[in-house]
Amino acid sequence: MENRKVTFVIISFLLLSVVNGYADDRTSAGQLFQRHCAVCHGSTGKPDPNNPAFRQLGILPANFTDPLFNSREPSKDWFMVIKHGGAALGRSEIMPAFKDTLNDNEIWLLISYIKTLAGDHAYPAGDMNFILPIRTKKAFPEDEVVWKFRFQNNTGSTDRDQIRNVLELEKRFLKRFQFSVELSHTFDDAIDDNDGNLDQVEPGIKYVLYENPSYKFITSLGTFFAIKTEEHDDSDEFIPYIAAAKRLTDRLTFQGTARADLPFDKFSDGSVELSGVTHWSPSPWPRSLHPGLELVASFPIDRDDGGSNKKFAQFSLIPQAQIGLSKSGHIALNLGAEIPLNDTDRYDYRAYIYLLWDFADGGLFQGW
C-alpha cells in the first residue's frame, strides 16, 4: 500500500515538473520578449504605428501578429537577424544584434514564442520554403519573379542549338494558393529567320494540400496550361503536378515532383516526369553557396511508339547551385547543367541560369 502511495507521489511530481518545465519555457520566453523586444515590437508583438521614434526613422519593426508575415519567414533566417542584427542581413540597423545578450538557446525559445503571436492560422510555415530547383517544382507558394535562361547544345543528329528565355511571375493569394504566369521565348538555330519566337504562355495555379511543421513536410497540387502561340503546330498542354518537400537535417532538404505533360489533342502523346533534388546548405548565411543534385526521369505515356527499349524512360542529371546575392538572399542566382544519362542524342547538355527575386522580402535595390 505504502509503495503505491510513494509511486503515485513520485509520478505526480514528475508530471508536475514536466508541465511546470513547459510553462517555465513559455513564461521565460515571454519574459525575454517583454524585456528585450517589446519596446520596439510592442508587448503583444504588434508595434505601435504612432510611436514617434519609428515615424521619424521611417521604418516600422516587424509585426508578429500578422499571420502572413509571421508564417512566411523561416525560423533560421530570424535566428540570424536576432543574433547578428538587422544590418547583417540587409535589414534596418535599428533591429539590434543580440549575440552578446542572449545565448542560442534563448534565441530559439524567443522564435518559438514569436511564432505563436499570430494565433492559429492556416498559412504554411516558411520553414518549409526551400531552395528553388532547376526542374522540380516547389511545394511552397511564393511571391517571386524568376528569369530563367536555358542554352541547349546539340552536335548530334539534329545539330540545333537552342536558347530559351522564360520570365515567370509567382504571386500568393488567399492562405494557401499561388497563381503564376510564364512567358517563354526561344531562339532556334534551325529557324532561318531568327528573331526567335515568343512561343508559349503558361498560366498556373498551386494549392498547399498538406503541411506538417513538426515533421517538416509539405505537399501541394498544381497545374499549368501551356498555351502555344503562332508558328507552332504543337498542341496546347495540360500539365498537372504534385510537389512535396521535406527537410532531412539542419543542412539538407529534399524536394520531389511528379508531373504529366498532356497535349490536349491526344493525352497519350504526352509524358510523365518524376524528379527529385537534394540541396545542401553548409552555411546559415543566405549570401552563400547552396549546392544541389537533381535527377529527372521522363516516361512517354504511349510506350509502343517506335517500340524501342530506350523509349522506356529518359534520365538526366542536373548538378546545380544557388548563390545568394543580396544579404538576405532575396535575390539569388541558380546555375546548373543538365546531362542526359541515356538517349544521349537528345542533346549534348543544357546550361541553366536562373535569377530570382523574392519581392515580398525586399525591393530590388534593398539589402545589398
Say which residues have a Cβ less than 8 Å from residue 159's Cβ, sequence separation at least 6. Answer: 189
User: Does 116 contact ligand HEC by CB under 6 A?
Assistant: no
Q: Which of residues 19-38 bind ligand HEC (CB under 6 A)?
A: 36-37
Which amino acid, 157? S
Distance CA 164, CA 184 (A): 7
**Among 29, 42, 45, 98, which residue sits at the site for ligand HEC (rule: CB under 6 A)?**
98
**Among 63, 75, 92, 235, which residue sits at the site for ligand HEC (rule: CB under 6 A)?**
92
Closest distance of CB 73 from ligand HEC, Å: 4
For residue 139, how far is the Cα from the chain centroid? Answer: 7
User: Does 181 contact ligand HEC by CB under 6 A?
Assistant: no
Grid cell listed for 319: 548538378
Total interface residues for ligand HEC by CB under 6 A: 20
Grid cell listed for 48: 505601435
- The torsion angle over the Cα atoms of residues 231, 234, 235 and 236, rounded to 10 degrees, is -70
Task: Judge contact between 258 and 272, C-beta under 8 A.
Answer: yes
* Nearer to ligand HEC (CB atom), residue 97 or residue 145: 97
Closest distance of CB 67 from ligand HEC, Å: 14
Q: Which of 142, 187, 140, 181 is nearest to 160 (CA)?
A: 187
* Interface pattern 57-76 for ligand HEC (x via CB under 6 A): --x-xx----------x---
* Nearer to ligand HEC (CB atom), residue 94 or residue 198: 94
Sole window of 81-89, 130-138, 202-210, 229-237 interacting with ligand HEC (rule: CB under 6 A): 81-89
Give me the residues that bind ligand HEC (CB under 6 A), please: 36-37, 39-41, 59, 61-62, 73, 78, 81-82, 86, 91-92, 94-96, 98, 110
